[in-house]
Amino acid sequence: MVSRVRVGVLGCADIARRRMLPALAAQPLVDLVAVASRDPDRAREFAEPYGCAPVHGYERLLDRADIDAVYIPLPTGMHAEWTLRALAAGKHVLCEKPCVTDPDEAARVAEAAGNHDLLVMESFMFLHHGQHRRVRALVEEGALGTLREITADFGIPATPRSAAAASSLLETGVYPLRLARLFAGEDPEVLGATLSVDAGTRSDVAGSVLLRFPSGVTARLGFGWRHSYRCVYELWGSAGRLVLDRAFTTPDDRAPVLRLERPDGVQEMTLPPERQFVNTAGAFAEAVLRGTGYDAYTGDIVRQAALVAEVRRAAFAFAPAKKFHAV
């Protein structure tokens, strides 16, 4: 019986160097086999610390018979293409978020994954940190009464990478959108959205979204990379409020603090640190080894892509002069 998933890394992005390669190497369910780059020297640089094979070229990595799955940290615009190529080569895929840029790509990925009976998981690392399970348990136990509103913000100062990227909605906005779906447990209606666009690049650099879920829960979300750092969410119910900071990019050594405010007082609950990247690699490997339930993961990719598209449509709802705020 196979007890480990043999993984190759398709690309040498900074997120792979800093977080995912160490996580894959530390995950007992994963065997890190190879790292591919179009630059052979870069492949060697990334692979050497882990004693795995450097591979010159993405296609050569996909051709290897000793790899069961790939992790894809390539630029966002390349995710769908190489996910589809990996599926055609018979490999399971863990792809950096967003896995796709629009619903058409999502449909193609879902169809290919189903046809090949392979797993595609979108790598929202924060979903695999136990702090959010604790929050969900508190909500389900009625600690907030009835959940009424979700507020979430993810903003980071501009970096060379973010300045070159095509969309802050795709790079940062997808986090609060995914979080709202997590806690509401439903797919929402987009009541309104704004996007601020860089006058030079015509790329969106910030935005805000208002959602309403069938249950009546609303969500107010903000994002962008022309901000000071902010990474927080708040759940507001009929009987209390819960706040969690550093919610999406929680460092491995951080002990999260849940702040619960109720009429009878304020309680701060300190949770143990967790390595959410290692957890993500483990969740992916467990799903591969289980061999069932793959449709749930591609279904989630499809729903997330549909929501992102609805946000874009809402931002274009008015006359051109009112669509965006140029910055």
**Tens-digit pLDDT profile for residues 60-72:** 999 999 999 999 9
Task: Please determine, for residue 146, whether its predicted confidence score (pLDDT) is greater than 90.
Answer: yes
**Calpha distance 261→213 (Å, rounded):** 24
Q: Which H/E stretch holds residue 35?
A: strand 30-37
Q: Which H/E stretch holds residue 139?
A: helix 130-140
Which one-letter DSSP state was computed for residue 76? Answer: G
Whole-number pLDDT of residue 319: 37
Q: Are strands 147-155 and 218-224 parallel, antiparallel or unpaired?
A: parallel
CA distances from 291 to 63, 284, 295 (A): 22, 11, 11
Task: Please determine, for residue 324, whether its predicted confidence score (pLDDT) is greater than 60.
Answer: no
Task: Please determine, for residue 118, whether its predicted confidence score (pLDDT) is greater than 80.
Answer: yes
Whole-number pLDDT of residue 201: 80
Burial of 51: CB neighbours in 10 Å, binned 0-12, 13-18, 19+? exposed
Indicate the CATH number for domain 130-273+309-326: 3.30.360.10
Average pLDDT over residues 73-95: 97
Quick: pLDDT tens for 279-300. Answer: 999 999 999 999 999 999 999 9
Task: Calculate the average pLDDT of the chain.
Answer: 94
Task: Please determine, for residue 321, whether its predicted confidence score (pLDDT) is greater than 70.
Answer: no
Between 261 and 3, the higher pLDDT residue: 261
Task: Please determine, for residue 232, whether its predicted confidence score (pLDDT) is greater than 80.
Answer: yes
Residue 154 φ/ψ, nearest 5 degrees: -140, 105
**Calpha distance 18→15 (Å, rounded):** 5
Whole-number pLDDT of residue 199: 82
Whole-number pLDDT of residue 323: 47
Contacts of 150 (CB under 8 A, 6+ apart): 179, 180, 183, 184, 217, 218, 219, 220, 221, 233, 234, 235, 236
CATH 3.40.50.720 assigned to 5-125+278-292? yes
Total Cβ atoms within 10 A of residue 159: 11
Bridge partner list, 54: 35
**Calpha distance 34→18 (Å, rounded):** 16
Whole-number pLDDT of residue 227: 86
pLDDT band at 160, cuts 50/70/90? low
Taking the alpha carbons of 231, 310, 277, 58 in that order, is the dihedral positive or negative? negative
The domain spans of the chain are 5-125+278-292, 130-273+309-326
pLDDT band at 162, cuts 50/70/90? low
Residues known to be catalytic: 97
Task: Please determine, for residue 306, whether its predicted confidence score (pLDDT) is greater than 80.
Answer: yes
Q: Which H/E stretch holds residue 164?
A: helix 160-164
**Calpha distance 233→135 (Å, rounded):** 11
Quick: pLDDT tens for 173-228. Answer: 999 999 999 999 999 999 999 999 988 888 899 999 999 999 999 999 999 998 89
Whole-number pLDDT of residue 317: 77
Average pLDDT over residues 293-319: 92
Q: Which H/E stretch holds residue 47?
A: helix 40-47
Quick: pLDDT tens for 271-281. Answer: 999 999 999 99
